[in-house]
Amino acid sequence: MSDQLQFDFEGRDRNQDRAGGAGPELPRDPSASGYAAFGTEQAAAVRAMEERFGVILNKNVRLKLIGWDEVFEGRLILDQLLYPATRKEGLRLRIGKVPFDYTDIEYCFRKEE
């Protein structure tokens, strides 16, 4: 059986070589450009969705839902993982613990912070 497939019963750290010294270390990107690009792309997608569906995402809002007597205040966030491809698919949102569809919004105003 090859050394690669054997279980390490001695519990050695995989980053140490057999002599006890430090083994190879993965290179690190000090600029973290990959994460910065992810953040930029995500912000652009949120702005596009706000324009497309006419909602205010990730901000504190005052919101009234059709058929509800209560006025909600809090952060309006997405309640789904995937962005809808079309307006017909709908957009699931949430404020606090209350999930709803974007078409259920009677009015929504951004609260002054």
Dump pLDDT digits (tens) for 11-58.
Answer: 665 555 555 555 566 666 666 677 788 888 888 988 988 888 888 999
Helix (H) or strand (E) holding 107: strand 105-110
Residue with tokens 């259920």, as numbered in its chain? 104
Instruction: Kindly tell me if the per-residue pLDDT of 82 is higher than 80.
Output: no
Ranges 4-8, 9-13, 38-42, 100-104, most confident: 100-104
pTM of the model: 0.62
**CA end-to-end distance (rounded Å), the chain:** 65
